């Protein structure tokens, strides 16, 4: 029988509606709070070097976030966003990828960039928008990007990276398709991971991106960070269905839900998802369940929409400590050395901050220097008008006024 509607031909003669939570979606958990492998669970294939790098990256990001949150409160940077409570979800997923895989992030995934080798100095230069910033000071703080590390520059508008990731991943796949047969002629050697929060999953771009990926079988890993809140909007006011995972199933995408505070579970899920995506040329959705321990950003006050009691309930479960306890059980980590290293990292972060904040801002001409190969007349006209405006009001532009040529 032909099936032009593309549905399961399961005929029923009884009037029955499917319940909104009929699909029972489990949450993969491997590691207990005390660092033990839970009964019935199996640790993923992870070597010592990878595990230590994963842990030290989480530790670094926690310390960086603490220092830069304080720096914003001191007026030294204009804005900051912490990864607090989601370090395992971001770092472990990045650790399960290959270095050539493209990362398209939202704005809380600095741990993925750090795992790839983004240096402390590079973080600071971006946060202070100085002349050494790879983005030439054109972005808000925490809007990182690195061609070298295959990390697409972050955009502020919510969810734009989702359809972009689908298109990019489909392009990655096309290089491996036999034009005569339309089939894969070799295993795809790289893919795209796309991070976003459950709030971004309420954007139209989410639905367009997932549907396109499913129909065209693009090798993209959609990594949904369900951390409970879209700025001040709790999840139960965002959607009625069973989280984000149920939507993946609805779009015909293989899906898994994972405990985002469990580094081993996230690593195992992402490792397996990557294998399926490159071998079969298909999208996968991973929903990470964690809790955003900090504010949405330094512009947010979470006391206006959640209680101190709720926050205290989740503060007792730290993803970094959980993984650290497992490392100690393996004999892969020395606790005394770890504590000493924390003190050194704090010193290094503060020292790098003091250096970066004194580096000059980019020259004004950097605004237009590489928008086109050569600035077009309209852009050049705007630039000249801007220079004249600054000259007329130097008190409003104290950093730039003295450097105009």
Q: Provide CB contacts within 8 A for 138, sequence distance 6+.
A: 129, 366, 367
Domain residue ranges in the chain: 48-357, 364-403
CA 387, distance to chain mean position in Å, is: 37
Quick one: pLDDT at residue 125? Answer: 98
To the query of whether residue 296 is one of the catalytic residues in this protein, the response is yes
Asked if residue 138 lies in contact with residue 367, where contact means CB atoms within 8 angstroms, the answer is: yes
User: Which residues make beta-bridge pairs with 196?
Assistant: 224
Is the distance from CB of 85 to CB of 292 less than 8 angstroms?
Answer: yes
Angle at which helix 120-127 crosses helix 48-73, to 10 degrees, equals 30
Number of H helices, E strands in the chain: 13, 9
Angle, CA 282 vertex, CA 278 and CA 285 arms, to 5°: 105
- Whether the per-residue pLDDT at 398 is higher than 90: the answer is no
Residue 252, burial from CB neighbour count under 10 angstroms (0-12, 13-18, 19+): middle
Chain centre distance of CA 116: 13
Active-site residue, from 116, 143, 296, 322:
296
Contact predicate 102/190, CB 8 Å: yes
Residue 1 pLDDT greater than 80, yes or no:
no
Query: Can 346 be counted among the known catalytic residues?
Result: no
57-61, 348-352, 368-372, 378-382: segment of lowest average pLDDT: 368-372
Helix ranges (H only) for 290-376 are 308-315, 319-330, 335-356
pLDDT mean over 38-65 = 98
* Structural contact between residues 156 and 108, judged by C-beta atoms closer than 8 angstroms: no
* Residue 37 DSSP one-character state: B
Instruction: Answer yes or no: 151 catalytic.
Output: no
- For 250-306, the pLDDT digits (tens) are 999 999 999 999 999 999 999 999 999 999 999 999 999 999 999 999 999 999 999
* Mean pLDDT, the chain, whole residue set: 95
Contacts of 260 by beta carbon, 8 Å cutoff, 6+ apart: 86, 88, 89, 225, 226, 227, 266, 288, 289, 290, 319
Out of 216, 305, 383, 403, pick the active-site residue.
305
The model's pTM is 0.95
Instruction: Return the sign of the alpha-carbon dihedral for residues 222, 225, 230, 236.
Output: positive
Both tokens of residue 32?
């207990």
Pull the structure tokens for residue 71: 């720096």
Marked catalytic residue, from 62, 108, 292, 322: 292
pLDDT given for residue 316 in this prediction: 87
On whether the 48-357 domain is CATH 3.40.50.970, my answer is yes
Which of these, 270, 267, 318, 312, lies nearest to 290 by C-alpha position? 318
- Structural contact between residues 135 and 153, judged by C-beta atoms closer than 8 angstroms: yes
The per-residue b/e assignment along 362-387, b for 16 or more CB within 10 angstroms, e otherwise, is bebeebbeeeeeebeeeeeeebeebb
Residue 91 or 4, more confident: 91
| One-character DSSP codes across 51-112 | HHHHHHHHHHHHHHHHHHHHHHHTTSSS-----TT-HHHHHHHHHTS-TTSEEE--SS-HHH
Residue 400 has a pLDDT of 84
């Amino acid at each position: 029988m032909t099936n032009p509607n593309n549905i399961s031909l399961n005929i029923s003669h009884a009037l029955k509606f499917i319940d909104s939570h009929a699909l029972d979606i489990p949450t993969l958990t491997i590691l207990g709070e005390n660092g033990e492998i839970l009964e019935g669970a199996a640790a993923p294939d992870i070597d010592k070097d990878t595990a230590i790098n994963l842990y030290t990256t989480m530790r670094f990001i926690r310390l960086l976030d603490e220092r830069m949150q304080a720096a914003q409160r001191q007026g030294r940077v204009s804005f900051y966003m912490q990864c607090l409570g989601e370090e395992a979800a971001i770092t472990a997923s990045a650790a399960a990828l290959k270095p050539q895989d493209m990362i398209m992030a939202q704005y809380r995934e600095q741990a993925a960039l750090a795992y790839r080798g983004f240096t402390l100095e590079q973080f600071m230069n971006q946060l202070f928008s100085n002349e050494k910033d790879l983005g030439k000071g054109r972005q808000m703080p925490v809007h990182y990007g690195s061609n070298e590390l295959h990390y697409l520059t972050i955009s502020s508008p919510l969810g734009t990276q989702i359809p972009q990731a689908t298109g990019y991943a489909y392009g990655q796949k096309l290089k491996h398709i036999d034009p005569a047969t339309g089939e894969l002629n070799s295993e795809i050697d790289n893919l795209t991971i796309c991070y976003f929060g459950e709030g971004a999953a309420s954007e139209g771009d989410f639905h367009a991106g997932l549907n396109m990926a499913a129909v065209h079988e693009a090798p993209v890993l959609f990594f949904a960070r369900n951390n409970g809140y879209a700025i001040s909007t709790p999840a139960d006011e965002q959607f009625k269905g069973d989280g984000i995972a149920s939507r993946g199933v609805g779009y015909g995408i293989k899906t898994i839900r994972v405990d985002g505070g469990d580094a081993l579970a996230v690593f195992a899920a992402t490792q397996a998802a990557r294998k399926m995506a490159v071998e079969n040329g298909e999208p996968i959705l991973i929903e990470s369940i964690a809790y955003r321990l900090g504010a949405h950003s330094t512009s947010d006050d979470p006391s206006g929409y959640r209680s101190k009691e709720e926050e205290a309930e989740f503060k007792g479960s730290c993803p970094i400590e959980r993984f650290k306890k497992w490392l100690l059980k393996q004999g892969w980590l020395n606790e005394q050395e770890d504590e000493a290293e924390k003190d050194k990292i704090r010193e290094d972060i503060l020292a790098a901050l003091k250096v970066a904040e004194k580096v000059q801002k980019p020259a004004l001409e950097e605004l237009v220097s590489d928008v086109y190969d050569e600035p077009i007349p309209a852009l050049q006209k705007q630039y000249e008008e801007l220079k004249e405006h600054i000259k007329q009001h130097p008190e409003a532009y104290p950093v730039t006024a003295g450097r105009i040529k």
